[in-house]
Structure 1
Amino acid sequence: MHRIGYFLTDGFQVMAIGTQAVFEIANIVAREPIYRVTNYSLAGGETHSSLGVSVMTKAVSAETEEDTWMISGMADPTNRITAPEELQFINEASGRSRRTAGLCTGAFVLGEAGLLDGRRATTHWAYADALQARCPLAQVEADRIFIVDGAIWTSAGLTAAMDLALGMVEKDHGSKFATSVARALVMHHRRSGGQSQHSEMLALAPKSDRIQMALEYARVNLSKPLRVDDLAKAAHLSTRQFGRIFLSETGESPAKAIERLRLEAARNMIERGRHSLETIAREAGFRDGRHLREVFTRTYGTTPQSLRREARSACAEKDLVDG
């Protein structure tokens, strides 16, 4: 059985313990207790979240042993310094465990404990620069969902911590089992750690259900031509109405928005490195590999091949460290 310890401090974000649902559902899917989850704090007793919710915790000691430590984040890590005794425990406990994770801004705590020195790490995009400034020996990558560097795991903001927890389940029990857990959690899309924190669907931020329906239709049909008439039909609007409302709500033309969605899908497939450029172009809705290269390079300032090499290099480094 894998033993998961959550180390909580006053002011922790509720989403940190929300990730415990991943391990709970893993037990249900497995039909046996494959994970045991325990909440800890330095002194034990009630620990209060930033929302005011109280959680009962066990006190840690030198004998506390867990397979995995999950370190909670806080609402504003730039205005908080972790107590020395807490840092000492985290440092010592990490040395005795198989892995330690900083959930969202929990990466700041790992950094203060010296656990990020010489490692790749991520955190909520809004605090990435602050983390790099506080931890100059770390390599902070602001645009990743989660990063695994040896025994140290760090995640982007809030919901990305769910992806990190699911990544642990995949590491422990394989991809097929993790997919079953994701399905039981009704996670819309299981994101691998290498994906960008940025979401084009979120950036477009349509205000009405009709435009959201059109964008969702586009997202699942990127390999098709996707004419404006098709999107208008999905939104139950006339073509003229659709074009006017779409521009008003997103600030983009339908054609530009679709290109952004195609590029995001292509980038994710390129980083995963499982398909040829021609296949990716076809799946994402570009004319061919050449068209994809042209648009990709113009938008991101780098070629698809360069991005793939970087992704493979990062993966190779991770595998080497994991051994």
Structure 2
Amino acid sequence: MTDRSPGQKPLLVTVLVFPGVRLLDVTGPIEVFATANEFGGRYRVRTVSSDGADVTTSAGTGLSVDLAAPDVSYVSDVVLVPGGPEWPSLIKDDALLSAVQALDARSRLTASVCTGAFLLAAAGLLDGRRATTHWRYTDQLALRYPRVTVDPDALFVRDGRMMTSAGVSSGIDLSLALVEEHLGVDVARAVAKDMVVFMQRPGGQSQFSVRTSSPHTRQDMLRRVLDAATEDPSADHTLSAMARRAGISTRHMTRLFREELGTTPARYVEQVRMEAAKAMLEGGDDPMASVARHSGFGSPESLRRAFARNLGITPGAYRARFRTTGATSGTGPMTDSSEPREPSDRLLSP
């Protein structure tokens, strides 16, 4: 199953741990990278603490540590900063914040899981960037660190060489995205199937938030057009309307979408409207006509066609997923197979 040539350079992942760290924040991502190695990956994971001492997690489980942060002399492909329930005191730990900064200085990409975002923010690494954290703490992240643009809906956010993820298990989603980036979609899919997790999970703090899956645009006028679409999906967002809003020709607008976002204006708007419709279906009992109208699809039939095209299910079936896990009736979303279903249209964070 493993196909690694001796000449392949390992991908170095450094995980910063500390007393009171949440266990799954650490082990979830490590398991993803270890499983990727069974499918041709080449990850080498090292655990680091600020002083090199072993730590005890918030669950009471001990974790061994490979070395102290000051002794890290190599460049990491990924530095992972997990969270913990005692994050308010952790962000005041100068030694821990110094370790975060030192590891980031020797990293190609720095990522956090759950409340680990507070450590990145306290270390000044998220200033001027977009980020997310567990839904319960997004307001506090925004209040404590006003220079950080907090996205409360995303499962994870990629902004340049920084990634932040939402609640605990989202570290698995983030790690799968990194495996896909490093090794390709086939390996990431194999890892997800082997771990019996969704490669892309429906609902919740969706990693397919259009706002986070679109790369940064260099064009301010295009950013204004994108923001207008996400702020009011039901407004007029035809190609001509968007071009008029930006003060450019339709041909120029089409070219900007292709060059900056790798998609078409119509496709982008449909994704925005899908996101709005899914949020309404997940969180309420609004009639389908109301969902269609407020999300911008206009009619229940248009809404149904869009869901069939993008997810392969009806809006009603999508809503039903969030009524119950199906654990007692045996009708959960993974009952059909030992492998998770994979919706058809995966968008990657940049």
TM-score bracket, shorter-length normalisation: 0.5 to 0.7
How large is the Cα RMSD of the aligned pairs?
A: 3.1
Q: 1:280 aligns with which of 306, 320, 323?
A: 306
Does the alignment pair 1:114 with 2:143?
no
Distance 1:73 1:64 in 2: 24
Secondary structure of the residue aligned to 1:43 is coil
Does the alignment pair 1:141 with 2:151?
yes
Q: 1:194 aligns with which of 185, 205, 208?
A: 208
Q: How far has the Cα of 1:21 moved from its partner?
A: 0.5
Does the alignment pair 1:8 with 2:17?
yes
Does the alignment pair 1:154 with 2:164?
yes
The aligned amino acid for 1:193 is Q
Q: Deviations over 1:58-110 (max 9, x none)?
A: 22225432221101101142354342122122113212211001111000000
User: Taking structure 1 as reference, are residues 159 and 286 closer, same or farther at Cα in structure 2, changes over 3 Å only?
Assistant: closer
The aligned amino acid for 2:20 is G
Does the alignment pair 1:40 with 2:48?
yes
What does 1:1-323 align with in structure 2 at a 5 Å threshold? 1-18=10-27, 19-30=29-40, 34-57=42-65, 58-61=67-70, 63-65=72-74, 66-191=76-201, 193-195=207-209, 279-282=305-308, 283-285=312-314, 319=350
The aligned amino acid for 2:137 is Y
- If the length of structure 1 is used for normalisation, what is the TM-score? 0.61
User: Does the Cα contact within 8 Å between 2:17 and 2:49 map onto a contact in 1?
Assistant: yes
Structure 2 residues not aligned, in runs of 5+: 1-9, 211-283, 317-346
Secondary structure of the residue aligned to 1:70 is strand
The aligned amino acid for 1:22 is V
Secondary structure of the residue aligned to 1:61 is helix
Structure 1 residues not aligned, in runs of 5+: 197-255, 271-275, 288-313
Q: Deviations over 1:233-290 (max 9, x none)?
A: xxxxxxxxxxxxxxxxxxxxxxx86978xx79xx9xx9xxxxx977424444369xxx
The aligned amino acid for 2:188 is A
The aligned amino acid for 1:26 is A
- If the length of structure 2 is used for normalisation, what is the TM-score? 0.57
User: Does the Cα contact within 8 Å between 1:122 and 1:144 map onto a contact in 2?
Assistant: yes
Distance 2:200 2:287 in 1: 23
With 49-58 and 74-83 compared, the bigger mean Cα shift is at 74-83
Distance 1:182 1:107 in 2: 24
User: Taking structure 1 as reference, are residues 186 and 111 closer, same or farther at Cα in structure 2, changes over 3 Å only?
Assistant: same
User: Taking structure 1 as reference, are residues 176 and 277 closer, same or farther at Cα in structure 2, changes over 3 Å only?
Assistant: farther
